[in-house]
Amino acid sequence: MVTVGGMTRLTRSGLSMTDWKLQGSMPPMNAAEWEAEFNRYKQFPEYQQRRQQGMTVDDFKSIFWWEYGHRMLGRALGVVYGAPLLYFAARGALPPHIRARAAALLVLGGTQGLVGWWMVKSGLQEETAAKLGEGEGAQVRVSPYRLATHLAMAFTTFGLLVHTGLDALRGPGAANEALAAFGKQLLAPAGVLRRATIGTAALAFVTAMSGAFVAGNDAGHAYNTFPKMTYDRWLPEEILNMQPLWRNFFENTATVQASHRTLAFTTLGAVAATLLAARRGGAGALWSALPAEARRAQLAMATVATGQVTLGVATLLLYVPLPLAAAHQAGALALLGTSVWSVHALRFARGGALRLAAQRAAKP
């Protein structure tokens, strides 16, 4: 769903549908209906900028189908998730430890559709539409702030789905079983590793959100050199041109891209440091003592982070080709997913469990 949304943005298709209905609607079915839909699109700012390019009905169809598919896929996901949830809830078959989160996920999914329309509306109105460039070459876009909000909700939903799915799969007693089998002398470094992994997961999320502002400002189509942002400078002169200063980090193409680059390599460094801490904690004994799942999750997180940074650099240098750009967005989800998995695999080392273990050990 998120990848299709990314392709919808990359193909500049997101503003092709100018209304929204909760239940959805059938697409145009004949030439007259296509013409009517195209005429509706012509009334909005994006077409006013594109008309110099001689857009035809067939051109319009190619962008309409991306947005229509994205919206209908969202509704299909709501049914795929919601119908079984209601069925199992009615039968009393939902495990108690995931009931609240399962309900919260249903609400998040429904809210995401509303936020998506709120985002699209920002590109349909002259007063809220963001524009890249000036004059005839200007490109109407949705608000980068609303785009980032939409993506943040998608990533939050995805992360919560992964964590809840792992909880349902492993069962409520798995953490206690892992704790009972773990050496007491290594509980402290395991707790440190868990906190470091949580920090790394949070950093991966923040990096992905900075990528939303790269997308929202089309910043990937500028400064397409690496490692320097221009051929002779690490940072462009215009990096802090906007006033007030904070706007640069969300609206200035140079600052937005520089921030994303910095966060990406900081995240990669954090992942590497976390893996190193796991392998060296407790004089090297921690790694062998960790549950096999925790070791696999740490290695998966490091592998995905390396691949994600490589994809990002390649996407930049090749001027954002669609397949690489879509893969890079999917890679951000994969990195978040492996980060959440890593945190979940270390849940036996959370503070409450450690204190309980210490209390048990102190008893005669």
Report the alpha-carbon distance of residue 14 to residue 25 in Å, rounded: 17
**Residue 188 — very low, low, confident or very high, per pLDDT cuts 50/70/90?**
confident
pTM for the whole structure = 0.89
Please report the DSSP string for 141-209 in residue order.
E--HHHHHHHHHHHHHHHHHHHHHHHHHHH-TTHHHHHHHTS-GGGHHHHHHHHHHHHHHHHHHHHHHH
Per-residue model confidence (pLDDT) at position 141: 83
Per-residue model confidence (pLDDT) at position 283: 57
**Residue 353 — very low, low, confident or very high, per pLDDT cuts 50/70/90?**
low
Window from 60-64, 160-164, 346-350 with minimum mean pLDDT: 346-350
Q: Answer whether residue 53 shows pLDDT above 60.
A: yes
Per-residue model confidence (pLDDT) at position 354: 55
Window from 49-53, 134-138, 208-212, 268-272 with minimum mean pLDDT: 134-138
The arithmetic mean of pLDDT across residues 23-43, rounded, is: 92
Domain range annotation of the chain:
1-171, 173-364
Q: Answer whether residue 138 shows pLDDT above 70.
A: no
Q: Which residues pair with 131 in a beta bridge?
A: 140
**CB burial class (10 A; 0-12, 13-18, 19+) of residue 139?**
middle
* Coil, helix or strand at residue 304: helix
Q: Within 10 A of 29 (CB to CB), how many other CB atoms are there?
A: 8
Q: Answer whether residue 245 shows pLDDT above 80.
A: yes
Q: What is the mean pLDDT of the chain?
A: 89
